[in-house]
Amino acid sequence: MVKVIGLTGGIGSGKTTIANYFNELGVPVYIADDAGKKVMQFESVKTQIKTTFGDALFENEILNRAKLAEIVFNNADKLAELNAIVHPAIKKDFELWLQEKASFQYVIYEAAILFESGRYKDCDVIITVTAPEEIRIERVVKRDNTTREQVLSRMKMQWNDEKRISLSNFVINNSNLKIAKEEVVKILKILNIKQNQS
């Protein structure tokens, strides 16, 4: 039975970098955010988005993700409505992906809102990636070409690190990538030992 490692962390914590490193070490990785972009192109999902948020978000049948982000990241209720449409589709997509990975011992399920969405309950192990707030803000401003204010408003929509850590099995501090990578190797060793004992 494949074990699912939930990998999460606040915006700008560098969780995708850590996920990619797990991948380099031979652990298949499923990035929920990428899957979200994919399922938003499904006709059934597009129809639900149109019904909930209106046709104005679409130009030639293509969803304007920036407009949608503007709506949901400033309104917790709208974000919950979007998640209620997208998350079931991601769950279904992940289950199909997991079937293809049946020969692996572990897979990584990487999601920014692993706890908020309730998906952490489907994971065997949970890892939270952390980094100091200022580093996180700096990373996102640079990466998304956005403003400090926009990053802070997105952070407010997510759980804080203390809350995440309280429900996690492992924590990786990603302020220094070299040290963070060493933590990944350590965690895999611990998991392999546990697996061999069980």
26 annotated as a binding-site residue = no
Burial level of 73, CB count in 10 A (0-12/13-18/19+)? middle
47 annotated as a binding-site residue = no
Tally the residues of the chain. Answer: 198
17 annotated as a binding-site residue = yes
CB 90 within 8 A of CB 36: yes
Is the Cα dihedral 21, 69, 35, 114 positive or negative?
A: positive
8 annotated as a binding-site residue = no
46 annotated as a binding-site residue = no
12 annotated as a binding-site residue = yes
Binding-site residue ranges for ATP: 12-17
In the annotated binding site, the residues are 12-17
